[in-house]
Amino acid sequence: MKKHLPIAVSSVCSALLAVLLFNFFQKPKTVYIDRADGSAVFAKYGDEGSLSMDGQRTFLSSSPTDFIAAAEKVTSSVVNIRAMESSSYGWWGGSSHGSSSGSGVIISRDGYIVTNNHVIEDGNKYQVTMNDHREYEAKLIATDPYTDIALLKIEEKNLPAVVLGNSDSLRVGEWVLAVGNPFNLESTVTAGIVSAKGRSIDILEGEYTIESFIQTDAAVNPGNSGGALVNTNAELVGINTAIITRSGKYEGYSFAIPSNLVKKVIHDLREYGEVKRGLLGVKIGPVDDRIARELNLPSVEGVYISSVTTNGGADEAGLRSEDVVVGINGLKIRSIPELQEQVGRLHPGSIIKLEYIRDGKRHSANVTLKDKDMGSTIVVKSDDEQILAKLGFSLRELNPEERRKLRVAGVYVENIKVGGTIEKTEMDPGYIITKVGDIKVSSIQEVINELKKNRGSEVYLEGFYENYPGEYYYTFSIK
């Protein structure tokens, strides 16, 4: 024992000396992580290439996983909306006692609020309650049932508007927060991850519906509809819309409209009173294993074209039935919801580069999107668009059936913007313009041309309402 003791003491002293010398010459390292591209980053403390979970690396998601700052920032931007004189709206949740309630998100400091169409569709009076309990009566600007979006307006300034984020940057597995008013519980925040993107659950009706939902497992209940889905940087990435449930309450599946689609819809509702949709002019279906084998596709992905509308954008670009769309503007298209969302963000007259597979070979074509009503491209010059936007109304031309029924040529006023020049004349939607000044008009372009001639002076419109006798005149100035 005495013989081995000196050896043990010597070994311990040598080890301690080695540690002291290493710490003296090897200074601590600081690791800087560049997160500019928003992607997952591994930070390693050595040169080893192993990605094993051995404590030698640090993982950072695309945004911090501290929810406190985001929750504090967003709750003031989410409001409670009560639609009066409405009835129960079933699967969406709500009340059957003369009113329904949901959530909304303040998107501008001057009072514009986005919510779901199903939250307000049965009401005719809308009460908005802020996070600080201030109450306002809101005016309905316009709705779009095809995406389940509605736009409201309250008269207030310097409101806490949410920051609109980029839903395309969301990744499956990323943390998100759902903020709303479930069961009338104010300013409730729940957390979850993005479970999937581009989901369609067949809840919207109509020929032009767009369902490309973000699926999350953040708890969403009746009353959350119209509320905010945000990332941990407090940026709006979606509007919470629906749940799949048998009980009527949250069971693990919630769905939100992507913010990039919301941006386009609310812009159109605000500027035109309706959504200006560009269409490919095709009927489509999913790609299954049988279609993939028959058409010699490299994978079971893409969107199958079952038929092409004559004189539509796709027809003019040379597409045919049994072509399979696999890309738009360089973005890979795997499913129908992805195609609908990308096209749904664009206006008539937009030109897209469409990639497709025919006879097992990849092709591309430039397709000009067409308008859903007129069946042709609406080419609106920027100056022309600005004059209508500044006056605050949107127009459409009378269809042949209306012309036969009314026995007149004219231009139909579809929507009127709140606070605009036209609204101040007390004109109502449904007005049919027959003259601008002394000049008869029968097309939108003719109306625009006459308005431009009268810039800087006063102009009057002559026309009528279908169900009211007599002529109506409205006078205003064009700056």
Query: Is-catalytic flag, 394?
Result: no
Q: How far apart are the first and last CA of the chain?
A: 105
Q: Which two tokens stand for residue 169?
A: 């940057």
Amino acid residing at 464: F
Query: Is-catalytic flag, 168?
Result: no
Options 101, 103, 118, 200, the catalytic residue: 118
Query: Is-catalytic flag, 268?
Result: no
Measured distance CA(404)–CA(398) in Å, rounded:
10
Residue from 274, 264, 268, 272 nearest 390 by CA: 272
Cα radius of gyration rounded to whole Å, the chain: 29
Judge whether 100 and 53 are in contact, CB under 8 Å: no
Alpha helices per DSSP H over 159-288: 259-272
Measured distance CA(310)–CA(48) in Å, rounded:
61
Measured distance CA(20)–CA(28) in Å, rounded:
13
Q: CA angle, 409 as apex, 404 and 413 as ends, to 5°?
A: 105
Q: For residue 348, which phi and psi values (nearest 5 degrees)?
A: -55, 140
Judge whether 167 and 153 are in contact, CB under 8 Å: no
For 475, the 3-state DSSP assignment is strand
Residue with structure tokens 């205003």?
A: 476
Q: Please, is 476 exposed, middle or buried when counting C-beta atoms within 10 Å of its C-beta (0-12, 13-18, 19+)?
A: middle
b/e for 235-256, b at 16 or more Cβ within 10 A? bbbbbbbbbebeeeebeebbbb
Options 103, 225, 259, 335, the catalytic residue: 225
Torsion 433-436-438-443 (CA) sign: negative
Catalytic center residues: 118, 148, 225
